[in-house]
Amino acid sequence: MIRNNGMRHLALTVRDVDRTKAFYERVFGMKVVWQPDPENVYLSSGCDNLALHRGDGGDPSAQHLDHLGFVLSSISDVEAAWQWAQAEHLEVAKPLRRHRDGSVSFYIRDPDGNVVQVLYEPTISQQRIVS
């Protein structure tokens, strides 16, 4: 077993780095922590790292990602985010849904079609990262 502190990094291949960077900044409040060149950027919400690398997002030889997720603190936060996403005309992959385990989520797509889950999950949403 590899000891770890949980998933904190994800990398996506995107067609337009600036457009996708703007999406994650506007929709999730992520900040640029490093942009070594126009082809690559690294963003964070404070406890994670999202890398965007320019490439052909439709390349069938590239690894496929099912979805990535952002955990919210409460059901009401997810419901408010759902209302905001609709008002912002974000592309919805799956609408707001209450799950049998008590979680609540919806899925949207970023500009390259990557599926992003917005989620309240009872066992992890209340966890706080301590540095």
In this structure, what CATH number is given to the domain that contains residue 91?
3.10.180.10
Task: Indicate whether 90 belongs to any domain.
Answer: yes
Distance CA 103, CA 1 (A): 28
Cα–Cα separations (whole angstroms), residue 41 to 108, 109, 130: 21, 19, 26
Task: Indicate whether 131 belongs to any domain.
Answer: no
pLDDT in tens, 4-49: 777 788 989 888 999 999 999 999 999 999 999 999 999 999 888 8
Task: Indicate whether 125 belongs to any domain.
Answer: no
Q: What is the pLDDT of residue 21?
A: 97
Task: Indicate whether 93 belongs to any domain.
Answer: yes
Domain count, the chain: 1
Q: What is the pLDDT of residue 61?
A: 67
Q: Is the pLDDT of residue 60 over 90?
A: no
Task: Indicate whether 128 belongs to any domain.
Answer: no
Q: Which domain holds residue 104?
A: 9-56+65-120
Distance CA 118, CA 60 (A): 27
Share of the chain above pLDDT 90, in %: 58
Q: Is the pLDDT of residue 58 over 70?
A: no
Place of tokens 């919805």: 92
Centre a 10 Å sphere on the Cβ of residue 10 and count the other Cβ atoms it contains. Answer: 14
67/66: higher pLDDT:
67
Q: Average pLDDT in the 91-120 region?
A: 93
Q: Is the pLDDT of residue 78 over 70?
A: yes
